Structure 1
């Protein structure tokens, strides 16, 4: 049976990051769709948000690098479940989109994957 990977997306503005083996902070290196008025009130459930995030320079490379890191964790002698948490400011755009892309990539490698979006349902944080 293949290893189980739990991916948890979250927003730093809604509380502490979840406990994880690997935590990725997407806030400072990747443009926030929140700054685009037409995307602000959408979420990663909306195609325009996913397209904007996935077309951001560096995201595809980070998905690949994270998949490699997950495989390394899973190869350990007492690996068990591998938990990945990825966060952005509000948890509605970058983090859940990245979580979905990572899940797709890991499933292609034969991992069993569970994805939880802790904060995607929360209201837009006014900044």
Structure 2
């Protein structure tokens, strides 16, 4: 599983790519959160305070399990992205990874853009 930021390049190759840019609260638009990352509790609280995100984690976990049940067993690659890759995507990936691990699956997790500099952009939330 890889979290990433669309503003830092193309999404990684994946079986499932989840685009979080338009549907969930973007901590970037809050000046007090902009320079924090998914490692900081206020960022996670902001992301998880958005309606629908817990359901998307559940649905994505179910999709991963469905892929694993297919005739060609092998790793399932999941990529989830937000604008900069520092807030929504890594928070989502951490929660999804925890849920899949709780189901007994082995999960490799990589945050491609978490430690990259903040991309200065407008207040559009994308």
Structure 1 residue runs of 5 or longer lacking an equivalent are 1-6
Corresponding residue for residue 84 of structure 1: 78
- Mapped to 2, the partners of 1:125 and 1:34 lie a distance apart of 9
* Unaligned residue ranges in structure 2 (runs of 5+): 122-126
Q: Please point out which of 77, 94, 106 is paired with 1:100.
A: 94
Output the aligned Cα RMSD.
Answer: 0.6
Alignment of 1:62-73 (within 5 A): 62-73=56-67
Match of 1:52 among 34, 46, 66: 46
- TM-score scaled by length of structure 1: 0.94
8 Å CA contact retained: 2:25, 2:46: no
After TM superposition, where is structure 1 displaced by more than 4 Å over at least 4 residues in a row? none
Report the equivalent of 1:112: 106
Residue deviations 1:1-20 (CA, integer Å, cap 9, x gap)? xxxxxx10000000000000
Aligned length: 121
More strand by share: 1
Matched, 1:36 2:54: no
1:4 aligned residue: none
